[in-house]
Structure 1
Amino acid sequence: MIKEPSLLGHATIPVSSVEQRLDERQIVASRWFNLEGGMGRHGDGGGGDQPAGGFYSGRLHLRLSLEGGYHVLDEAAHVCSDYRPTAKQLWKPPVGVLELGIVGACGLLPMKTKGGSKGSTDAYCVAKYGKKWVRTRTVTDSFNPRWNEQYTWQVYDPCTVLTVAVFDNWRMFAGDGDDRQDYRIGKVRVRVSTLESNRAYTASYPLLVLLRSGLKKMGEVQLAVRFSSPAHLPDTWATYTSPLLPRMHYLRPIGVAQQEALRGAAVRTVAAWLARSEPPLGPEVVRYMLDADAHTWSVRRAKANWFRIMGVLAWAVGLERWLDGVRRWRSPSTTILVHVLYLVLVWYPELVVPTASLYVFLIGVWYYRFRPRAPAGMDARLSQADTVEGDELEEEFDAVPAPDVLRLRYERLRTLAGRVQRVMGDIAAQGERLQALVSWRDPRASRIFVGVCLAVAVALYAMPPKMVAVATGFYYLRHPMFRDPMPAAAVNFFRRLPSLSDRML
């Protein structure tokens, strides 16, 4: 027979009495806490000789501390506006001041119906940077509200993001017992590091919202932003070369699961705090501003991230195409110049690093002409919001669909996951083939590889390295008439090496 667990006692510890720890070198002393309120010997809550404060149930030995050296994220990591530790004693001096002028909005769509069939919008704006939230007044019944309000923040790290969003006020007109939420109209993010110092930017940004019916432009918001910073090059160098997160994140890192749990708790705490402000901000506003649902699964986001990866790798693809054109002698003059440059770099290897640095410098100077003239707003094309399909939107917005719809989405997810699984298997197979070169899983292949390595070592010891490099480069750049269209022998040899794929169930 299983007995019900009984309470041995509890200890009440005021948070104000807990010591705060600032770094890993600070030792927090352990303390004993009395347990009270437990059941007595006969299960009646205590005997006749119990003390006045209740039945004594023993003591608990604990080491408690408030960790002030960490920063608990309440925003998504990629749009964070504050990296400072919790303890104010560890804050560094500010590097500048961020000024935001919320001028107004134009072309807003009607959000609600008043007086029968008349559409109206009661818009207000919310801005968040660091721990400071601001809210404009509500302009009632206007599609072109003008706020003309200005706010400032201290900037401690320029690699942070300012978030501005526009909402339609439903709570102000809600009746008793009506729990209508404020409707989001759109959001804009501005990364402070993209702003030049002491320059005012005034621009209109589109307000885009992704709905079940697709992407919808709700209007535009006009903002004026300026980042005032007296920092010179040494100060900027020190800022950009310092760690992004506080020291404790690197010495005593927090696990990913614990970070997500702490972020969820921080979002709930901020929502409860702003709900008590005047006028209050609802939890839907806080969650939208903090991107609380940024890590939920979405086919659209998966596609967007895939195309982002392809965009990052586009330069490598372009370089490979250029090299292929050089190898195929599509422009004989370019190929001859590459031969000459390669010969100079091989004969004078000390020029490789400075030449590469000079080349990158020239690329940076060339692209200076195409630098952004103003901070960019939300990009619908980058987010794949302009080409998203209706079924994908239904999946993104409908958390608990019908069973038949759920099965269809599950099958589609299995198809996508199968493609990802196949790519992961191919990558793993390439690494296992590299390991198979010397692991003698294929004794014939390992025997050939070891023999070739010995021959290469003897040849390289006997021949001057510059001549070897010149011969290798010229062989790679040889004319197509001397080139076999079939794959190279080394590629064929590598593809024949065994992997562990044949051992998988």
Structure 2
Amino acid sequence: MSSQAPSNHQDDFKLKDTSPQLGERWPHGGIRGGGGWISSDRVTSTYDLVEQMYYLYVRVVKARDLPTNTVTGSCDPYVEVKLGNYKGKTQHFEKKTNPEWNQVFAFSKEKIQSSDLEVFVREREMVARDDYLGKVVFDMNEVPTRVPPDSPLAPQWYRLEDQRGESKTKGEIMVAVWMGTQADEAFPEAWHSDAATVRGEGVYSVRSKVYVSPKLWYLRVNVIEAQDVESQDKSQLPQVFLKAQVGNQILKTKACPTRTPNPFWNEDLIFVVAEPFEEQLVLTVENKVSPSKDELVGRRSLPLNIFERRLDHRAVHSRWFNLEKFGFGILEGDRRQELKFSTRVHLRACLEGAYHVLDESTMYISDQRPTARQLWKQPIGILEVGILSAQGLLPMKTKDGRGTSDAYCVAKYGQKWVRTRTIVDSFNPKWNEQYTWEVYDPCTVITLGVFDNCHLGRNEKPGSGGGPGKDSRIGKVRIRLSTLETDRIYTNAYPLLVLQPSGMKKMGELQLAVRFTCLSLANMIYLYGHPLLPKMHYLHPFTVNQLDSLRYQAMNIVAVRLGRAEPPLRKEVVEYMLDVDSHMWSMRRSKANFFRIVSLFSGVISMSKWLGEVCHWKNPITSILVHVLLFILICYPELILPTIFLYMFLIGIWNYRYRSRHPPHMDTKLSWAEAVHPDELDEEFDTFPTSKSQEIVRMRYDRLRSVAGRIQTVVGDMATQGERFQALLSWRDPRATSLFIIFCLIAAVVLYVTPFKIVFLVSGLYLLRHPRFRSKMPSVPSNFFRRLPARADSML
């Protein structure tokens, strides 16, 4: 029994138009929009796809001549910035009267509750209350406003005041206070009042950051041969194979079919490695003593930077490498003999530029450039994305007995990943951050995901969608750039949909502003006829199994490297953005793909039905018009091809009225997520290998056999039809082949002496004949074809 989603929820799963109050074309300093990625001569740096949010910035630089404690004779100072109910603190220094903090605090203007800004300098006490060293008070009405690209506001020295507001004789602090927007250069690294409750190491995980994917390379190792391989058992020749390992990637050659001390393989082993190279290529030659026992013959570790980098299809020189043997004596004389008569391996290895299609699913490619920058072309466009806000987020965990969410957004396009700041304890977070990417191919996809931050150092209980120590998934959005009109701003609210064991669930909405700017229309048009990947991909193609393995390893490498950043982009986030589990079996996905195929043939089926109605004179007027068109094409055969192309042109013009006005989004009907069976969902979320009981596994195995049986039947029927075509001239049925070749001879003579127009006209009239001249019995050609033999009767 299928769990059909309620009809009132279907509208919630659709894309919605929004009308945010976007800022005008106001400049920014380049950091927020990825200014390090785009030169100023390509696009004017603007920050106009988000709503302006004003912040009070307080930069605490340093202090000098602070008074010491009368008891200890030292000073452990820190600064507390207070604005209304919000307090921000710097780190404290031990025994330092001239500390330097250089820390920025940002207070949202919307939440300012006081007309005075107080900057306190305190001394940390371990037992009693912190000692008061002095303060500086700023009037909010006197704070200047700064708009980038104006130079940063110069900090000034202020003499500390006591609690009565009188200047103290000793102690000064350097502070800069100004009013700015989120375009300010200080915004990313600032302490935010939105995350005032976060303490400790969690402060670093709430800031917005830009990440870069590691530089990926293929390591192609062509194992040619080996020499002087010796077995420990001198009575028989060795039968060896070579095992190569890079990190956790292990590949083996086939065992040499003959026993010989000089085996020959000539096999390619492909690995994925990331720059900077931290692993080594470990070569191991092993002797297959028995089906269950392998004997180590020799080993060699090679650093990856000794291999040349191949940017084109030029040949790579092969090299011999001596292996280190094991099982010999440890005397110096034995070592010399080992090196003189050691086993040698002959191989050809090189580093080839990997394509970033490896670190993501083939269905959602965001970058098709090679690794080597020398092969990059000029960008054809600029992608600007304003991550505005989220609405109606569901509680992802509980805090103090109530539900809460600490949401942040991650966007991935090409090598560049961006992460917004975390808005703490809000179901309607407002980020209003804008980012920019260079576009080298419009037929690519940008992916955005919303997550709940579970690394804030607070005692929280994860709710649905996550586990302890893992950031929970809230939802994901994909936008294909080729579906966007150039120089148009799309402002939409995308539904955040997550498929859970209980079914499809809407977690909220993500509001975005997207603009794709074209830099060169000619280059963009040229790309549509240009190969997707560089030349090396087609000169040395990979098998499907190799691509799947390489892609899986590349995803792991990217997840590990980004997880080592500070703050880390965690593994669960990277895997969700890259669809690392898209290759796993799912009954739901299989059904969705099946109905996608069915929808592709819907047009052909509709055309065949229409032609059948014409042939059976369901609508006499339409049948007569088709007869007239047939006679016109017979009289003027040169109009056949122009008529076909003219019809396609007219159909395209007609369909322009029904073009999509919105970017693509997650379609629950297409994904077959609205009517999926609960047990199929439970199977999709099962671990690999399975963790279910034997009875459930048996039931699912029987169901899988049933589905596979139907697929097997369909594939067998298709093979049968093809084999019947082959049987026409293969003489498997001598009588049928004799009749067919006699028919071919007669047809050749008739077509030779009869004008083609007459043949075409007679065929068309026969096809369009009136129903009274038709028989309900199958035709002679159909009967003849069905009687042809197939090879199904030869199968076991």
Q: 1:189 is matched with which residue?
A: 478
| 8 A Cα contact 1:70 1:248, kept in partner | no
The sequence identity of aligned pairs, in percent, is 56
Q: Which TM-score applies when normalising by structure 2? A: 0.60
Cα deviation digits, residues 25-71 of structure 1 (max 9, x gap): x22233344545x447xx333435757x9999465443221012755
| 8 A Cα contact 2:586 2:683, kept in partner | yes
- CA drift at 1:20: 0.2
The secondary structure found in structure 2 opposite 1:407 is helix
- CA drift at 1:238: 1.2
Q: RMSD of aligned C-alpha atoms?
A: 2.2
- State the distance in 1 between where 2:646 and 2:294 align: 76
Q: 2:368 is matched with which residue?
A: 83
- CA drift at 1:16: 2.4
Q: How does 1:430-469 map to 2 (within 5 A)?
A: 430-469=721-760
- CA drift at 1:251: 1.1
Cα deviation digits, residues 147-166 of structure 1 (max 9, x gap): 00111111111000000010
Cα deviation digits, residues 443-476 of structure 1 (max 9, x gap): 2222221222222111111211101110110110
Q: 1:114 is matched with which residue?
A: 399
| 8 A Cα contact 1:32 1:60, kept in partner | yes
| 8 A Cα contact 1:35 1:56, kept in partner | no
Q: Does 1:99 align with 2:387?
A: no
| 8 A Cα contact 2:379 2:519, kept in partner | no
Which letter does structure 2 place at the counterpart of 1:403?
Q
- State the distance in 1 between where 2:734 and 2:375 align: 60
2:631 to 326, 343, 346: 343
| 8 A Cα contact 2:399 2:459, kept in partner | no
| 8 A Cα contact 1:200 1:225, kept in partner | yes
- CA drift at 1:235: 2.7
- CA drift at 1:257: 1.1
Which letter does structure 2 place at the counterpart of 1:209?
V
Q: Does 1:487 align with 2:778?
A: yes
| 8 A Cα contact 2:390 2:429, kept in partner | yes
| 8 A Cα contact 2:389 2:512, kept in partner | yes
The secondary structure found in structure 2 opposite 1:186 is strand
Q: 1:402 is matched with which residue?
A: 693
- In structure 2, do the counterparts of structure 1 residues 86 and 348 end up closer, same or farther at CA, with 3 Å as the change threshold? same
Q: Does 1:367 align with 2:652?
A: no
Q: Does 1:500 align with 2:791?
A: yes
- State the distance in 2 between where 1:251 and 1:340 align: 52
Q: Does 1:330 align with 2:618?
A: yes
- Of Structure 1 and Structure 2, the greater strand share is in 2
Aligned length: 496
1:219 to 478, 493, 508: 508
Cα deviation digits, residues 410-456 of structure 1 (max 9, x gap): 00000000000111111011011111111222222222212222221
Query: Which one is further off, 331-340 or 310-319?
Result: 331-340
Q: 1:294 is matched with which residue?
A: 582
Q: 1:238 is matched with which residue?
A: 526
- State the distance in 1 between where 2:754 and 2:333 align: 99
- State the distance in 1 between where 2:665 and 2:394 align: 19
- CA drift at 1:281: 1.7
Query: Which one is further off, 205-214 or 440-449?
Result: 440-449
The secondary structure found in structure 1 opposite 2:528 is helix
* Gap regions ≥5 residues in structure 2: 1-232, 234-288, 461-466
Q: Which TM-score applies when normalising by structure 1? A: 0.94
- In structure 2, do the counterparts of structure 1 residues 446 and 39 end up closer, same or farther at CA, with 3 Å as the change threshold? closer
| 8 A Cα contact 2:452 2:472, kept in partner | yes
| 8 A Cα contact 2:562 2:569, kept in partner | yes
- CA drift at 1:181: 0.8
Q: 1:304 is matched with which residue?
A: 592
Q: Does 1:199 align with 2:494?
A: no
- State the distance in 2 between where 1:310 and 1:7 align: 56
- Of Structure 1 and Structure 2, the greater helix share is in 1
- In structure 2, do the counterparts of structure 1 residues 4 and 489 end up closer, same or farther at CA, with 3 Å as the change threshold? closer
Which letter does structure 1 place at the counterpart of 2:704?
L
- In structure 2, do the counterparts of structure 1 residues 309 and 58 end up closer, same or farther at CA, with 3 Å as the change threshold? closer
- State the distance in 1 between where 2:727 and 2:303 align: 61
| 8 A Cα contact 1:9 1:57, kept in partner | no
| 8 A Cα contact 1:39 1:45, kept in partner | no
Structure number with bigger Rg: 2
- CA drift at 1:82: 0.8
- In structure 2, do the counterparts of structure 1 residues 429 and 61 end up closer, same or farther at CA, with 3 Å as the change threshold? closer
- State the distance in 1 between where 2:713 and 2:298 align: 55
